[in-house]
A and B are shown apart, each in its own frame.
Chain A
Amino acid sequence: MAAAKLPSAMDARLSRLLLIAVALVFLGLFLALPLLVVFVQALSKGIGTYLLAVADPMALAAIKLTLTVAAIAVPCNLVFGVAAAWAIAKFEFRGKSTLITLIDLPFAVSPVIAGLVFILLFGSHGWFGAPLRAHHVRVVFAVPGIVLATVFVTFPFIARELIPVMQAQGKDDEETALSLGATGWQTFWRVTLPNIRWGLLYGVLLCNARAMGEFGAVSVVSGHIRGQTNTLPLHVEILYNEYNYTAAFAVASLLALLALLTLAGKSFLEWRQPELRHVAHARDRTRRAIT
């Protein structure tokens, strides 16, 4: 029996090592290496060139536009996402499954198609093209179009993050608050929101990362006007197409940095939530020890 067991235990250890090795090699090759290349290329002509590329007025305009778009799109999706998740998790209504499917639509549709949809709707020959022109409102090839495309593409992130959290929590807390005399608003601010805050923050983080990094949909509606409708990812592409590799990678490194920050924030949130309980326990223990 023991003799039969030994090889199988060794087999298990061997296959475990093999699996870990494969995963590590894969991650290194496809994730870590490219990230490293970005920074190496960006700094290949020295820090001076790097700073020049980043401080270029066109680059600064792209940074400003990207931040502006994210600053509009993320709050919009915050409100939509919370509302949609609340409706889906806490109420029964007709068409609920349709709503869930619609929320997933941006994940399913190619971003390029999302961009084209907005051109068809708001472009000069689109459905609303004539009335918009009459009122001198520019949507496509302008900031509003970029914001719309970004909102569309990043819509699922927050809602998707919140729906399972809210479903798991059920309605008991809200019903209790109402029975204690709280209004709907009080219930939302004092009970629902604190209950979902970590999930919400997590969703906002992912939504923000995608909003700043979105290329396809934004590329279609932006028109690539330098200094006006160029976001960071588009600016990288332009620089690259002009064979300005160092500058392209320098700007790309900003996006890569954003990705790293997002990952760090995400890990922090994941670490923070159980930690919260530990802290409370530790505090409690010390207090008991003192008294």
Chain B
Amino acid sequence: MSIALRGIAKQFGEFAAVKDIDLDVPTGALIALLGPSGCGKTTLLRIIAGLETPDQGQVLFDGRDATLWPIRDRNVGFVFQHYALFRHMSVSENVAFGLKVKRRRERPPAAEIRNKVRSLLELVQLGWAGERYPAQLSGGQRQRVALARALAVAPDVLLLDEPFGALDSQVRHELRRWLRRLHDELHFTSIFVTHDQQEAIEVADTIVVLNRGRIEQCGVPSEVYDVPTSAFVHRFLGQVNELPVRFRDGRAWLGPIDISAAAEVRTGSADNIALIRPHEIEIGSQASGWPATVAAVRVIGPIVRLELCAEGQPLNEPLEAEISRERYAAERFAVGQKVGLRFRRWQVYPAGAAAI
């Protein structure tokens, strides 16, 4: 089922949670609503689910106006961050709930419900846990039960609100991959909310970045990551270094590096910043670029992160650079070593634009 939002706005008292949102979610898509807390992503998801009513605008399900449909008529599966399993029911009873509450003539016979529950539990790799109670399962297992329960009623749309937010990183990583596979097998339309950019990039086909109730950018993960349209998106998706762009003699400078040729110097005004991702910094010999001192070296699995104090920059704001383990093995940068920096890529934005 395709979903379309037209001019959605929602206000809670004085606080405008979402403002004039337009969004199209094609059938079978897996979309991430990404943003910091308070950006309106959960409100938007709840509006699609029918748990909130928008003040303005329309929600279209396959082109039909569903704005005022009650949640139980929407055929959406909703998964909460904290699982919301019914604690007084066993795992099987939880999964069977949506089938058992159907009207008598729509309700499948008991044997069929049992089979369906069993196959769903197999699907989420919890075939052994049917008689357990939620309190006896780990967080990751509980969330898989919640997913099985949502899938039991064969929803057209699966909505997930920070589904992996309460899990530790190992389990989270595993469940992300598993959700992606599940989506590819079952072809429902999924929308999930997250504040974790890595999660969004790993799982989603399309990322919708929200900020202060508005859509900042919408696109495939690599596009949003590589070609951010605003400083906000650039900062939110991954680490960035921030440097002021200085204008001298009609040219634009990042420290001692002349960026006039490549840069969008158009404005020529004083207040511009350049954002540079850690892996876009090149480290060479002292003469090769902006002189800097290595302030810290941290080996993190396959990458090595260096903190670099560039000449003329405040000491307490070192730049962060990332190089591969292999490169590090070859160069052996040590704390205190003098190096020279160059930037492979950067992007210039007007300063003062929406900080996180």
Contacts and interface: CB of A to CB of B under 8 A. Distances in A.
A95 interface: no
A180 B88 CA distance: 17
Contacts of A281: 136
Interface in B37-78: 49, 51, 70-72, 74, 76-78
B101 A183 contact: yes
Max chain A Cβ within 10 angstroms of own Cβ: one of B49, B82, B101, B133: B101
Max chain A Cβ within 10 angstroms of own Cβ: one of B51, B72, B135: B72
B97 interface: yes
Interface residues of B, number: 28
Given A173-B86, A195-B88, A281-B136, A179 B97 contact: no
B101 A179 contact: no
Nearest to B88: A194
Given A191-B86, A195-B87, A280-B135, A176 B72 contact: no
B332 interface: no
Given A191-B86, A277-B135, A280-B136, A182 B101 contact: yes
B101 A176 contact: no
Contacts of B97: 177, 180, 182, 190
A56 interface: no
A173 B94 CA distance: 11
B52 to A, nearest CB: 10
Interface in A138-178: 172-173, 175-178
A194 B82 CA distance: 19
Interface of B: 49, 51, 70-72, 74, 76-78, 80, 82, 84, 86-88, 97-98, 101-102, 132-133, 135-136, 146, 149-150, 152-153
Interface of A: 172-173, 175-183, 186, 190-191, 194-195, 277, 280-281, 284
29 contacts: A173-B84, A175-B51, A175-B78, A175-B80, A175-B84, A176-B78, A176-B80, A176-B146, A176-B149, A177-B97, A177-B101, A178-B70, A178-B71, A178-B72, A179-B72, A179-B77, A180-B98, A181-B98, A181-B102, A182-B72, A183-B72, A190-B101, A194-B86, A195-B87, A277-B135, A280-B133, A280-B135, A280-B136, A284-B132
